[in-house]
Amino acid sequence: MSADRIRRASLRDSILEEARRRVLLMGILNVTPDSFSDGGVFFDSAAAIAQAQRMESEGADILDIGGESTRPGAAPVSAEDEAQRVLSVLPGLCADGSRVVSVDTYKASVARVAAEAGAVIINDVWGMTRDAGMAQAVADTASAVVVTYNRGKADPDLNLVDDMRAFFDQAFGVAQEAGVPREHMILDPGVGFGKTWEQNFGVLARLDVMLDYGVTVLVGVSRKSFIGKLLDRDVDDRLIGSLAAGLASVQRGASILRVHDVGAHADALKMWNAIGEAQ
């Protein structure tokens, strides 16, 4: 095993172990021109790296780099362009070998390039269902993987709990066949992906379905439209709703929160923990 592979495996194992001890924050960094909240803001590599450092100073445990917008209706991006965007920041962030970096992609080729550049987590919003080569890419690169519950198209009539279980059962089967260890998998309820507005609340209320698998659970609700619809707030005015949904998810067992506003979530978790630890 090469020194780089050993380093990445060590980072992977340490962050997954840390998630069993406390709630972690994953800071969102989109190097895209069209993401729903921060599109174009950090498209320049220098601005992106500065933002990554800022989030880290505010308490981000993981940096999640996205090279393609996953908002509904976003224009697709080729694997080559997505990889180029991701590689504009990954080498700089991974150079010292201490940062835990995730890459938000559903493309196996981008996952491989990202892992080679130092990423240790692949965050797949299609849960290894969009690209048939993703599970093997995760296995070959010894990465951790976020498996998002995403059916692609909302169905208001389905039994949400049964469907979630079926989706994750299939994901574990695909991972096992490819050689991805169960302990390297992180489950995400997929708020905003292939769900009705009401189902977004439903999956958050039933995080126990994911906890039953005995692996890490990640929740990403930051600034999403279901918050805006409930509270009648524009995308830049959804922090309070994001904090409330995030803490409710922690109460239900989530151990990683994927967020834009790292400092505010770090403060909220500090208060949450202090109350929980009080006698």
Q: Note the pLDDT tens digit of each residue in 188-237.
A: 999 999 999 999 999 999 999 999 999 999 999 999 999 999 999 999 99
- Distance (Å) of CA 88 to CA 32, 45, 124: 11, 6, 20
Which uninterrupted H or E stretch holds 72?
none
Cα–Cα distance measured from residue 101 to residue 86, given in angstroms and rounded to the nearest whole number: 11
Q: What count of Cα atoms within 13 Å lies in the side-chain half-sphere of residue 127?
A: 23
Task: Say yes or no to pLDDT of 36 above 50.
Answer: no
Q: Distance (Å, rounded) from C-alpha 49 to C-alpha 26?
A: 15
Q: Is the pLDDT of residue 42 over 90?
A: no
Question: What is the average per-residue pLDDT within 115-137?
Answer: 97
User: What are 50's two structure tokens?
Assistant: 């500065």
pLDDT band at 71 (very low <50, low <70, confident <90, very high): low
In this prediction, residue 46 carries a pLDDT of 81
In this predicted structure, the answer to whether residue 103 has a pLDDT above a threshold of 50 is yes
Q: Judge whether 224 counts as a catalytic residue.
A: yes
Which one of 5, 224, 233, 270 is the catalytic residue? Answer: 224
User: What is the reported pLDDT for 33?
Assistant: 72
Answer with the residue of higher pLDDT: 43 or 174.
Answer: 174
What is the average pLDDT score of the chain? 92
Which one, of 104, 213, 106, lies nearest residue 166 by Cα?
213
Residue 51 has pLDDT above 50, yes or no: yes
- H or E stretch including 24? strand 24-30
What is the pTM for the complete model shown? Answer: 0.93
Let me know if 195 is a catalytic residue: no
Q: Is the pLDDT of residue 272 over 80?
A: yes
Closest CA to 101 of 146, 69, 137: 146
pLDDT of residue 4: 85
pLDDT band at 76 (very low <50, low <70, confident <90, very high): confident
pLDDT score, position 40: 47
